[in-house]
Structure 1
Amino acid sequence: MTFTNSPRLIKGGIVLVDPQTLSPIRNGSVPGGIIALQYNPDSISRTLQATAVGGDGQDRSEAMRLKGPPVETIKLEAEIDATDQLDKNNSVVIQHGIQPQLAVLEMLVYPSSRQIEATRQKAASGILEILPMQAPLPLFIWSKARIIPVRVTDFSVTEEAFDIELNPIRATVSLGLRVLNMNDLGSDHPGSDLFSRYHREKESLAKMNTNFNYGTLGIGGIR
């Protein structure tokens, strides 16, 4: 039975886009450029490190000055389980387990094999490659309010169960992400516009928090 009034489950995920146009990369290693998590994590850990002016010996007049947005890092754990697909006789899962789902996540930290081969051929021809290979820009998407340019800083997989062919059928993936702001991308980079939107959304949400006053803290004022 289908319940038409049941809420549609929104999934978090990552979209790989062209760094200049923000269009999804549809011809790369990730089909459609879109990675949706099979199950939304129960929790996400975020750390913000302020970018203050100077160090511990700074001038006292600079104590409250900020050079720019904080450095924000995100950590999450995502579970991948083949049980549902096996029950539905999914032929890909029966043959490979969850390896395709793991591989699509691992592509976040791999350049394409085509790029590597092209670099090897240039080196064999005596052509020195100066610039590192350009990778797609990952956007971490966690609701409409959080569409954030990021860089994958660490990735680990714990494979927890296997089929008779030793294909993994259950795993936990840990992802570490660093939010990229205009200091990382440059003020004219399209990704900086996305970060600015993310920043403004935070400011709008902060203005909604109007439930407290000095009395809440048990004081009549500061002076």
Structure 2
Amino acid sequence: MTRLTKGALIQYGETFLGPIPNIVVFQYNVEELDRQFSIQRRQPDDNVPARQLETHRAHSAPVESFTLNLKFDAADDLDKGDGSAELFGVGPQLAALEKMVFPESTGELLGAIVDAVGSALGGGASQPTRAIPPERLPRLIFVAGLTRVLPVEITSFSVRETLFSRGLVPIRAEVALGLQVVTFTPDSDDIIGQGANEYMKTLKDAQAVLNLGKAITDAPDIIPF
């Protein structure tokens, strides 16, 4: 039988949860987790002699990505007589998760668009007073226990609804989710995401030290003297 455990995706803003929190709690298979690291190599410069090239110099930090199969099931809530589950099944969880895929819309963005369109239709020579800001993907934290607290972006999203009520309300669903760990530039204002990355770096450094101690202990069994 597949072992499932709970995790969460938390959408946050500059004030962490912001005015309208968006948190999705899910179950996932703890027996397997596929992770990949994309390693960026620095491209050689044609003007630099081959003997002077630093072959081990990285272009940027590796980018980590991983895939998860999330499980949603409204059966327990239906047994408890939950009115929301009876009306919508797992629809609310899926809707909240889908919101994390689309760029955030803000009043500032709408105001800038109206300003720009109004100036264009007016035919005047003056430029719009506000530039249209680029749309920003939601800021997300993936939480799965104390050893996985990561700032992420959703890179792929596939839903499979597997059980329905008589009213075609989804009672059970599986979501194949691709996530990429976010890296930050020094001028980033995302304090929360940077804090999560620093926490994970410290945790991995500590685990690497523990592994070094074990490797030293096992050395006599590996290296003949």
Asked if Structure 1 and Structure 2 have the same fold, meaning a TM-score greater than 0.5 normalized by the shorter chain, the answer is: yes
State the partner residue of 1:6: none
Residues 36-65 of structure 1: CA deviation (Å, up to 9, x unaligned): 21x23333221112233226x995742222
State the partner residue of 1:178: 180
State the partner residue of 1:51: 40
CA distance in 1, matches of 2:99, 2:188: 28
State the partner residue of 2:196: 194
Give the aligned residue type for 2:41: A
CA distance in 1, matches of 2:58, 2:187: 18
Residues 137-183 of structure 1: CA deviation (Å, up to 9, x unaligned): 10111222322111111111011111111111111011111101134
1:117 Cα deviation from its structure 2 partner? 6.2
1:13–1:35 Cα contact (<8 Å) kept: yes
Q: Is 1:105 the counterpart of 2:97 in the alignment?
A: yes
1:53–1:62 Cα contact (<8 Å) kept: no
State the identity %: 29
2:10–2:23 Cα contact (<8 Å) kept: yes
1:121 Cα deviation from its structure 2 partner? 4.5
SS in 1 for 2:141: strand
SS in 2 for 1:203: helix
CA distance in 2, matches of 1:94, 1:45: 35
Larger radius of gyration: 2
Gaps spanning 5+ residues in structure 2: where?
120-127
CA distance in 1, matches of 2:67, 2:37: 12
CA distance in 1, matches of 2:58, 2:165: 53
Give the aligned residue type for 2:153: R
State the partner residue of 1:90: 82
Q: How many residues matched?
A: 204
1:74 Cα deviation from its structure 2 partner? 1.6
Give the aligned residue type for 2:102: Y
1:132 to 111, 131, 134: 134
Residues 156-214 of structure 1: CA deviation (Å, up to 9, x unaligned): 1011111111111111011111101134x746642233212212211111111132355
State the partner residue of 1:33: 22
Give the aligned residue type for 1:79: K
Gaps spanning 5+ residues in structure 1: where?
1-8
1:145 to 107, 131, 147: 147
Give the aligned residue type for 1:167: V
| TM-score of the aligned structures, taking structure 1 as reference length | 0.76
SS in 1 for 2:24: strand
CA distance in 2, matches of 1:82, 1:188: 38
